[in-house]
Every structure is written in structure tokens, then in C-alpha cells.
Amino acid sequence: MSYIYEGDVMHNEDSKMPELKDEQQLEENSIEQQLLDAQKEIEDLKSQIMWLERSYE
């Protein structure tokens, strides 16, 4: 177990792990949300293309 001295307070380095895990989880959620948004946009664009193709038939 290691300690970090910050100012007048000594912190256990292990106590910072939950913060890092929270940041990683937030980043993963953000990436997952971006992928879901991109998939929705792709489906919308496919629908628009199909609609345009119908008008040319």
C-alpha cells in the first residue's frame, strides 16, 4: 500500500481507484452512447435512401 502526500494531508493511493473506475465507466458509457447514436443515424440515413430510391422508380 502506498501513500501520496498532498499539502497537509496524506492520502492512500488505493482510495483513488474508485474515482478512476468511475471515470472509465463514464467514458465507456459515453462511447457506448455515441455508438448507439451513430447506429440510429445510419438507420435513419438508410430509410432516407430507400425513400429516395422509391421516387425514382
* 1 close to 13: Cβ distance less than 8 angstroms: yes
| Identity of residue 35 | L
Task: Please give the pLDDT value at position 35.
Answer: 95
pLDDT digits (tens, 9 = 90+) for 14-49: 555 667 778 888 888 899 999 999 999 999 999 999
pTM for this predicted structure: 0.53
Domain ranges within the chain, ordered by starting residue: 18-56
* 54 close to 46: Cβ distance less than 8 angstroms: no
Alpha-carbon distance 32 to 26, whole Å?
A: 10
Alpha carbon distances (Å) from 14 to 8, 19, 21, 27, 28: 18, 10, 12, 21, 22
